[in-house]
Structure 1
Amino acid sequence: MPEPSQPLRKLGFLTIGLFDPAHPGAGHESTLQVIELGERLGFDSAWLRHRHLQYGISSPVAVMAAASQRTRRIELGTAVTPLGWENPLRLAEDLATVDVLTGGRLNPGVSTGPPMHWDRIKDALYPDTMELEDLGYDRVLRLRGFLRGDPATQFSGTEGIEEFSDHVQPHSPGLADRLWYGGASLRSAVWAGEHGFNLLASSVVGAESDDAAPDFENIQLGHIRAFRAAHPLGDRARVSQGLVVIPTDSADADQRERYRAYAESRLPRTRTPQGPRRMMFAPDLVGTSEQIAERLYAHAAFREIDEVAFALPFSFRHEDYVQILTDTATRLGPALGWSARTP
């Protein structure tokens, strides 16, 4: 196994929290138990992904609020919240409230642009203002401004027996500096760097050149380097990578077979750019921790970062997630030079 140039500093995981629509409580409870397990195993962070109008977590902020009362140390984040679905002022209030509940452990990740299936949902989401909504980068800056304490109104003071503030309450100092931007394009990576955000690099990138055989790793490497070149902190700017990683060290024969079949079913989308935006997907990494570590050390973009939020597969069983997280924390993490956090 090749030696790492530097040890992995932060190890996290990402889940979408699938549930049975007939019994949604069980799926949400499973997600909370997975987060609790992550804390016991010493993970640095747990991240939730939005799934609007699907059978996954539609309100990560609410789930993180619940998790805040069942954990004490692990950081909680979103990867990512699509801001086209959100009002920045109201979201700032929710995020600040949950950050207070967690004791300052929140890491909100966001993205911009029209929501997925915009034509199908715009009438329900913005029935009267769809043509006026700003769905671009300024929406992120508004959110950060409110989190920093920028005025939301010109009035503050007493009105009758009620006291009013001119900025979001509660105010949670430092939360604005823990904002992450999820960018899959070179333009987004540069913008995030120029504006001082942290960068979430996922298993999806845009193949923006006309190259007939684009290479995912080198595209993502280019995004990371361009982000840091534009960022005020330069090489110290934070980047987290989110590949799908499935260690099989303690998996039984049935689990190993299902994991390999899952990865193979998704492999065709990794070979050529997909759709009009020419999106490239990284292959899922399945194997022993030693095998996965070797593949990661050979990954051009992985060699540029020191923190990850490995994505859990979408449709596995609760016991599968327990096995994957346990192997990740006890075998893969140490193989990457990472040390579990203690209470």
Structure 2
Amino acid sequence: MPTPAEPLAKLGFLTIGLFDGDHPADGHESTLKIIELGEQLGFDSAWVRHRHLQYGISSPVAILAAATQRTCRIELGTAVTPLGWENPLRLAEDLATVDILSGGRLNPGISVGPPMRWDEVRQALYPDTADVEDFGYERVNRLLRLISGEPATGFSGVAGIEVFSDRVQPHSPGLRARMWYGGASLRSAQWAGENGMNLLASSVVRAEESEDFADIQLSHIRTYRAHHPDGAAARVSQGLVVIPTDTASSEQQAKYCAYADSRLARTTAPQGPARMMFAPDLVGSSEEIAQMLYAHAAFREVDEVAFALPFSFEHEDYVQILTDMATRLGPALGWSARTAEGR
């Protein structure tokens, strides 16, 4: 648990991978270069989001497959893959393939629920089965069983000249232990613990027992660990938007502050019928941000983080933020950069 006397063990970052719809290659290349930079700076992990029918990464598995060939050490994850858009068997094949390509570095994060803007996409996504699709936890269980190597069919053997397996191929034995659940509610936190998954503590949570973001996130972490077989040792990665400004230009600092100010109103009270609470963006020097984090009740419960990069900045802004994060903020939290040989 990080305190000034207990170092942060793992530092990661999350990117949305925005691109120009008229020139999408540039944005995708920028994302890959950011992941490469993360490895060079010693980050433990790089994570990508899903953005379906938007100008962000729609196929994180494809992006991470490319990243496996341009990196050799940094762990690669999704935060998160909404399973409502996926066929669990096909996703299990893709995830296992990328995990094999990466040498066992993949950390898939997933969530459940109907696809975003369901009424508008249901006809395109599930034209024949929309009314019978199960978007609950059983969809996760199907994926976990397939990744674990349980049979997908009742047949294996030779048919003609072709050889068939009864389980997903390739099989990556260590992948199940690196599956994460992105939880935004107490129910999800409990379910993730009961089912032995790792927990991505979201920067967007449901205001159920409190209207203080840190208290809500803390309750999710404690509920999760109370129901996980590993108890206090169960893995949790905390998600927050963090923007260090140590080496930022005056123009960049003004942009960052304006970005955080534009989003502040949604952090002060629950939003919408679902009563969602958003974490305030942390902007300032690394010393100032470290103090904010040590005062954050949920941060004191974890020893690894995946700090989110803002959505709409330029490539050079991300380079500055990541560099400050790795060379200034991380050390201020007791973290040390990884090398190919380890820490």
Tell me if both proteins adopt one fold, taking TM over 0.5 as the criterion: yes
Displacement of 1:5: 4.8
Q: Deviations over 1:295-331 (max 9, x none)?
A: 0000000000000000000000000000000000000
Displacement of 1:3: 5.0
| Ranges in structure 1 where 5+ consecutive residues have no aligned partner | none
1:63 aligns with 2:63: yes
Q: Deviations over 1:195-228 (max 9, x none)?
A: 100000121110024x6xx111101101100100
1:331 aligns with 2:303: no
Distance in 2 between the 1:3 and 1:38 partners?
24
3-state secondary structure, aligned to 1:128: coil
1:230 aligns with 2:227: yes
Q: Structure 1: which amino acid aligns with 2:258?
A: A
The 8 Å contact of residues 45 and 74 in structure 2, kept in 1 or not, is answered as yes
| 1:139-178 pair list within 5 angstroms | 139-178=139-178
Distance in 2 between the 1:171 and 1:258 partners?
46
3-state secondary structure, aligned to 1:80: strand
Q: Deviations over 1:163-212 (max 9, x none)?
A: 00000000001101100000100000001001100000121110024x6x
Query: Residue 32 of structure 1 corresponds to which residue in structure 2?
Result: 32
Q: Structure 2: which amino acid aligns with 1:289?
A: S
Displacement of 1:115: 1.0
* Corresponding pairs, count: 339
The 8 Å contact of residues 97 and 170 in structure 1, kept in 2 or not, is answered as yes
| 1:90-239 pair list within 5 angstroms | 90-209=90-209, 214-239=211-236
Distance in 2 between the 1:150 and 1:139 partners?
15
3-state secondary structure, aligned to 2:222: helix
Q: Deviations over 1:129-185 (max 9, x none)?
A: 011111000111110110110101101000111100000000001101100000100
3-state secondary structure, aligned to 2:7: coil
Distance in 2 between the 1:40 and 1:255 partners?
23
Query: Residue 246 of structure 2 corresponds to which residue in structure 1?
Result: 249
Displacement of 1:91: 0.1
Q: Deviations over 1:261-304 (max 9, x none)?
A: 00000000001100110000010000000000000000000000
The 8 Å contact of residues 79 and 108 in structure 2, kept in 1 or not, is answered as yes
Please give the TM-score of this superposition, normalised by the length of structure 1: 0.98
1:304 aligns with 2:306: no
Please give the TM-score of this superposition, normalised by the length of structure 2: 0.98
1:318 aligns with 2:297: no
Q: Deviations over 1:54-108 (max 9, x none)?
A: 0000000000000000000000000000000000000000000000000000000
Query: Residue 81 of structure 1 corresponds to which residue in structure 2?
Result: 81
Distance in 2 between the 1:264 and 1:300 partners?
23
Distance in 2 between the 1:18 and 1:25 partners?
11
Distance in 1 between the 2:279 and 2:76 partners?
24
Q: Structure 2: which amino acid aligns with 1:168?
A: V
Taking only the aligned residue pairs, the percentage that are identical comes to 76
